[in-house]
């Protein structure tokens, strides 16, 4: 440990890496050079003839892939349009070749030269000046190849052959055997490639390849990398012990200086000496009263700036780098509960219990190199704006690039990070096991400085597959080696991965899989569950979501169509723009989804028309209703210390990877579905919930047996409702609650109840009223108000199913819109369900609706902010029953 001091010091400018394409490395004033990210790629199909012409990439980016290059060259139709996906399958069945040139100046060279590959997709053979220097069969591996002495003085050539991953997998399958998977070709079980490339129930089969992450030439005299700033906080959070570790490559004795600057500009210093024979080092700092990073809604997102300098014995700076580090203490809490069986499952950050409210993330594009930093920022900002605080990086995609996690750190979004094993029975033969071990180490080393990562999970639904296929899964067998069973990958999930996390990122909890719990994967009392008995499974009514809650619901969802504007972009033939067209069916990859979607729409909604606009609205309304029931039911069960009966809910899914019908909240072109706004309202830190039911249903612990509710049940049913408030802030909150019941047909106020000013306890649900009688001809509105009468939150409840609700003629509802600069006010003389605002000019993208799809009640002006809107704009609306 070096000496530690605080105070001001003279700043040394950080070295800036070079990014100059495939060109000569300029002479540097510093003896250390970070080198170049190679670009200027060219490509061609290989395996045809020896004189196939090269094609230059039509961009200068350092990353690329074959589908985008073929599209740029106009050699394939756009697979996102119409049914063109069928026309481009040959691409993934072919081998491809990339190459670039760069200049090396031996006079300016340093002691070491490395070629660094951050990611090659997938079966890659790399040649430097026609010498094979690397064979890679894992898309998630990073490679650092020492190429010292292998460069020509002058022009050099790097060439990469990418073999078809599909054909490679099938060849391995013949040798190693058939391993079952759900979604995609079964041969994907053998190939460490993004599994969604093989097709999923929301995505196409587009088997891309190429240098999808940077390839860099690094030339240096000395270097440190794999820097890890590990902060261990005391129980009372009053002290942080910080260990800064690193790997080193040097041919001389060097000094590593570390300066940590707090958010309030206090500096802490440490120094470590590294001998030329060492391969790494460690230094420690002690920081009193550390300034902590918190998830959104729980405190500030603040960061320590860590400046690291590598110095020669002469004092010359050989390397300089900077990292932003958020300090936080995280824990996965699984404790016994009061009054209920099992144990809790929630996350604690800096000793504060956090209810995790969020979404699942799939890759943002089928072609990963098409994603920009701005795309990640926009998607994650939209998540945060919808009052969500967690994102799950799903196991069938990729370990996302640094920008994704940087934005999560900045926004205060917690990250549930899966390892990339999804929906299959994976092997564990020696070569496969060695590959996934390196994959896990490479990725954990890269990701471990991001404070937003709150948990690692071993896989997605692979334990469900084990149950479904009745594999050898003995939960009492804790031997740690199951390679000889027919569930060999259990060794990966329960032995290899947790040991890697414990070694390289010990402050982050590990969970063997998702779902994973006590007695199997569907135990609602332990661990997390994927609740798909709405939509899949038993296809329960979504009004019964209060019977489906578990300790942590990490997947659930409901499908909804994308916007008409989005459909018009990918369906080029106007004659195909109707709900059951072949093109729209092609863009729906979920098996049987047409029947399921129709089932849920027809069970719940009155559908007066089947044109595209009406069907889009109906599916989006149904999706919004379903997810509202789910969110309210889960959040209600966050009841305070010892009663954390549900610790989180993560909806499937936030986004799309191509234009499709799916469970997403935001469609591929960025249009927000009605469900996005619905969960934004119900997830607010201060919110209300209403649940209408019968005494018989309320008494049940789970969904009723379907035979107990025959179609000719003529008995009279009495309906009751409960009201509760949710305060997810960290302070008690005084509020007034107003409950009003309206006749739906006439708009007459039937009943009004005022609850006196009550104190809503912090970070939990407060039950306000129970078993109040209600007629099925009335709609309920509850409002939360400050003591001086300002409206904070609203909730509404309607008789279910909505298709039975008798509505007045649309012209008699008395709905009035008032359009102002940046604002629309909605008034109504009768209760109105799901008022959706839109611009008559559908081509405009300059107006952002901050809310939409709202329920409006008499005597309550509903104001919707809309940045970019101007008074006089032609704003139109649709609502339930308007057509």
pLDDT tens-digit series, residues 676-715: 999 999 999 999 999 999 999 999 988 888 655 566 666 7
Buried b (16+ CB within 10 A) or exposed e, 774-802: beeebbbbbbbbeeeeeebbbbbbbbbbb
SS3 content of the chain, % helix, strand, coil (to 5): 20, 30, 45
Say what the pLDDT of residue 251 is: 87
Residue 633: pLDDT band by 50, 70, 90 thresholds?
Answer: very high
Asked, colleague to colleague, whether 221-325 and 809-883 share their fold, the answer is yes
State pLDDT tens for residues 7-41.
Answer: 333 232 222 222 334 433 333 333 444 578 999 99
Report the C-alpha gap between 183 and 204 in whole angstroms: 11
Q: What is the mean pLDDT of residues 771-782?
A: 96
Contact 260, 283 (CB under 8 A): no
Q: For domain 221-325, which CATH number applies: 2.60.40.10, 1.10.260.40, 3.30.70.141, 3.20.20.210?
A: 2.60.40.10
Out of 33-42, 287-296, 300-309, 605-614, least confident range: 33-42
Say what the pLDDT of residue 403 is: 98
Residue in 576, 536, 566 with CA at minimum distance from that of residue 660:
566
Q: What is the mean pLDDT of residues 741-753?
A: 96
Report the C-alpha gap between 721 and 134 in whole angstroms: 66
State pLDDT tens for residues 521-564.
Answer: 999 999 999 999 999 999 999 999 999 999 999 999 999 999 99
Residue 106: pLDDT band by 50, 70, 90 thresholds?
Answer: confident
- Look-up of token digits 């902060």: 231
**Length of the chain, please?**
883
Q: How many CB atoms lie within 10 A of CB 410?
A: 17
| Residue 346: partners with Cβ closer than 8 Å, 6 or more residues away | 332, 333, 353, 354, 355, 356, 552, 644, 647, 648
Contact 333, 347 (CB under 8 A): yes
Domain extent listing, the chain: 33-218, 221-325, 339-395+514-683, 685-806, 809-883
Q: What is the mean pLDDT of residues 667-681?
A: 98
301, 402, 403, 652 from 408: Cα distances, Å: 10, 10, 9, 18
The 3-class secondary structure across 308-374, one letter per residue, is EEEEECCCCEEEEEEEEECCCCEEEECCECCCCCCECCEEEECCEEECEEEEEECCCCCCHHHCCHH
Q: What is the mean pLDDT of residues 402-427?
A: 99
Say what the pLDDT of residue 10 is: 28
Residue in 218, 226, 271 with CA at minimum distance from that of residue 248:
226
Q: Under DSSP, is residue 567 helix (H, G, I), strand (E, B) or coil?
A: helix
Say what the pLDDT of residue 716 is: 75
Contact 753, 736 (CB under 8 A): no
Say what the pLDDT of residue 704 is: 87
Out of 34-43, 181-190, 256-265, 487-496, least confident range: 34-43
- Look-up of token digits 């609706």: 849
387 — alpha (psi -120 to 50), left (phi > 0) or beta?
A: left
Is 685-806 a CATH 3.30.390.50 domain? no
Report the C-alpha gap between 42 and 837 in whole angstroms: 48
518 has a pLDDT exceeding 80? no
Say what the pLDDT of residue 16 is: 26
Is 339-395+514-683 a CATH 3.30.2320.80 domain? no
Out of 52-56, 73-77, 619-623, 824-828, least confident range: 52-56
Q: Under DSSP, is residue 419 helix (H, G, I), strand (E, B) or coil?
A: coil
State pLDDT tens for residues 137-188.
Answer: 999 999 999 999 999 999 999 999 999 999 999 999 999 999 999 999 999 9
Q: What is the mean pLDDT of residues 345-374?
A: 98
The pair of structure tokens assigned to 407 is 């934005």
Out of 24-28, 760-764, 807-811, least confident range: 24-28
Q: Is 461 a catalytic residue?
A: yes
Contact 325, 230 (CB under 8 A): no
Contact 379, 352 (CB under 8 A): no
State pLDDT tens for residues 416-451.
Answer: 999 999 999 999 999 999 999 999 999 999 999 999
101, 604, 776, 780 from 720: Cα distances, Å: 74, 20, 10, 11
Say what the pLDDT of residue 2 is: 33
State pLDDT tens for residues 242-252.
Answer: 999 999 988 88
**What one-character DSSP code corresponds to residue 662?**
B
Say what the pLDDT of residue 755 is: 87
759 by Cβ neighbours in 10 Å (0-12 / 13-18 / 19+) ranks as exposed
Contact 634, 526 (CB under 8 A): no
**Average per-residue pLDDT in the chain?**
93
591 has a pLDDT exceeding 60? yes
Report the C-alpha gap between 782 and 215 in whole angstroms: 57
State pLDDT tens for residues 840-849.
Answer: 998 898 999 9
Residue in 132, 142, 118 with CA at minimum distance from that of residue 435:
142
| Residue 277: partners with Cβ closer than 8 Å, 6 or more residues away | none
Catalytic residue, chosen from 85, 214, 407, 461, is 461
Say what the pLDDT of residue 34 is: 58
Say what the pLDDT of residue 277 is: 81
Report the C-alpha gap between 119 and 63 in whole angstroms: 10
Say what the pLDDT of residue 545 is: 98
Report the C-alpha gap between 168 and 189 in whole angstroms: 12
CATH topology assigned to domain 809-883: Immunoglobulin-like (2.60.40)
Say what the pLDDT of residue 35 is: 74
Q: What is the mean pLDDT of residues 618-630?
A: 99
Say what the pLDDT of residue 3 is: 32
658 has a pLDDT exceeding 60? yes
Contact 240, 231 (CB under 8 A): yes
Q: What is the mean pLDDT of residues 794-803?
A: 97
Superfamily in which the 33-218 domain is placed by CATH: Galactose-binding domain-like (2.60.120.260)
Contact 215, 275 (CB under 8 A): no
């Amino acid at each position: 440990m070096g000496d530690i001091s605080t105070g001001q010091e003279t700043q040394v400018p950080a070295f800036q890496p070079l990014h100059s394409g495939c060109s000569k490395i300029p002479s540097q004033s510093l003896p250390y050079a970070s080198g170049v990210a190679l670009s200027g790629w060219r490509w061609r199909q290989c395996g045809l003839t020896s004189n196939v012409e090269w094609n230059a990439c039509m961009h200068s980016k350092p990353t690329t892939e074959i589908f985008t290059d073929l599209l740029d060259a106009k050699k394939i139709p756009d697979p996102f349009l119409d049914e063109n996906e069928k026309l481009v399958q040959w691409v993934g069945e072919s081998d491809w070749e990339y190459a670039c040139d760069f200049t090396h100046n031996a006079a300016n060279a340093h002691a070491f030269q490395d070629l660094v590959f951050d990611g090659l997709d997938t079966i890659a053979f790399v040649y430097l000046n026609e010498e094979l220097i690397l064979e890679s069969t894992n898309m998630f591996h990073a490679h650092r190849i020492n190429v010292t002495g292998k460069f020509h003085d002058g022009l050099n050539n790097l060439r990469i052959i990418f073999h078809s991953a599909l054909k490679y997998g099938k060849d391995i399958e013949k040798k190693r055997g058939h391993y079952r998977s759900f979604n995609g070709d079964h041969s994907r079980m053998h190939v460490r490639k993004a599994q969604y490339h093989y097709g999923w129930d929301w995505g196409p089969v587009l088997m891309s390849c190429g240098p999808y992450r940077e390839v860099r030439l690094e030339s240096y005299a000395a270097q440190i990398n794999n820097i890890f700033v590990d902060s261990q906080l005391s129980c009372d959070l009053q002290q942080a012990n910080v260990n800064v570790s690193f790997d080193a490559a040097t041919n001389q004795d060097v000094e590593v200086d570390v300066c940590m600057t707090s958010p309030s500009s206090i500096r802490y210093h440490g120094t470590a000496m590294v001998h030329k024979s060492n391969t790494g080092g460690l230094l420690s700092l002690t920081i009193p009263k550390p300034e902590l990073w918190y998830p959104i809604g729980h405190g500030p997102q603040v960061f320590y700036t860590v400046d690291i300098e590598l110095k020669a014995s002469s004092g010359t700076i050989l390397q300089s780098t900077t990292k932003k580090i958020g300090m936080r203490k995280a824990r996965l809490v699984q404790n016994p509960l009061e009054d209920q069986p099992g144990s809790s499952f929630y996350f604690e950050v800096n000793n504060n219990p956090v209810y995790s409210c969020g979404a699942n993330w799939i890759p943002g594009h089928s072609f990963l190199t098409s994603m920009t930093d701005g795309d990640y920022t926009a998607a994650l900002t939209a998540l945060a704006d919808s009052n969500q605080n967690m994102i799950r990086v799903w196991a069938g995609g990729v370990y996302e690039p640094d920008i994704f996690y940087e934005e999560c750190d900045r926004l205060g979004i917690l990250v549930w990070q899966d390892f990339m094993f999804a929906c299959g029975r994976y092997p564990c033969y020696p070569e496969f096991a060695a590959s996934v071990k390196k994959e896990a180490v490479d990725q954990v080393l890269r990701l471990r400085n991001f404070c937003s990562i709150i948990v690692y999970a071993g896989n997605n639904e692979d334990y469900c597959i084990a149950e479904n296929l009745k594999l050898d899964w003995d939960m009492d067998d804790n031997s740690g080696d199951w390679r000889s069973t027919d569930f060999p990958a259990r060794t990966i999930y329960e032995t290899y991965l947790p040991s890697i996390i414990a070694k390289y990122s010990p402050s982050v909890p590990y969970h063997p899989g998702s779902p994973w719990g006590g007695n199997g994967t569907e135990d609602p009392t332990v661990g997390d569950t994927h609740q798909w008995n709405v939509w899949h499974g038993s296809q329960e009514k979504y009004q019964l979501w209060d019977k489906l809650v578990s300790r942590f619901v990490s997947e659930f969802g409901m499908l909804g169509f994308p916007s008409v504007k989005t459909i018009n972009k990918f369906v080029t033939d106007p004659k195909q723009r109707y709900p059951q067209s072949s093109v729209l069916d092609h863009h729906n990859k979920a098996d049987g989804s047409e029947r399921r979607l129709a089932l849920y729409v027809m069970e719940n909604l009155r559908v007066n028309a089947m044109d595209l606009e009406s069907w889009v609205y109906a599916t989006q309304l149904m999706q919004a209703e379903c997810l509202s029931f789910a969110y309210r039911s889960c959040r209600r069960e966050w009841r305070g210390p010892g009663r954390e009966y549900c610790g989180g809910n993560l909806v499937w899914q936030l986004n799309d990877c191509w234009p499709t019908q799916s469970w997403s909240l935001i469609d591929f072109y960025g249009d927000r579905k009605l469900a996005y706004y619905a969960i934004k309202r119900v997830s607010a830190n201060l919110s209300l919930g209403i649940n209408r039911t019968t005494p018989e249903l309320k008494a049940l612990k789970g969904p009723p047996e379907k035979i107990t509710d025959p179609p000719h049940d003529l008995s009279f049913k009495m309906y009751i409702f409960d009201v509760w408030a949710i305060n997810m802030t960290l302070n008690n909150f005084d509020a007034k609650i107003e409950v009003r019941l309206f006749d739906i047909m006439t708009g007459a106020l039937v009943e009004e109840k005022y609850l006196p000013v009550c104190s809503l306890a912090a970070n939990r649900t407060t039950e306000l009223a129970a078993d109040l009688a209600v007629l099925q001809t009335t709609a309920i509105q509850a409002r939360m108000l400050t003591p001086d009468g300002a409206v904070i939150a609203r909730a509404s409840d309607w008789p279910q199913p909505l298709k039975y609700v008798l509505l007045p003629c649309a012209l008699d509802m008395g709905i009035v819109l008032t359009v102002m600069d940046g604002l629309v006010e909605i008034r109504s003389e009768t209760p109105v369900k799901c008022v959706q605002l839109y611009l008559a000019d559908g081509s405009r993208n300059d107006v952002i609706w901050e809310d939409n799809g709202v329920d409006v009640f008499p005597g309550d002006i509903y104001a919707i902010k809309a940045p970019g809107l101007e008074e006089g704009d032609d704003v139109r609306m649709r609502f339930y029953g308007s057509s």
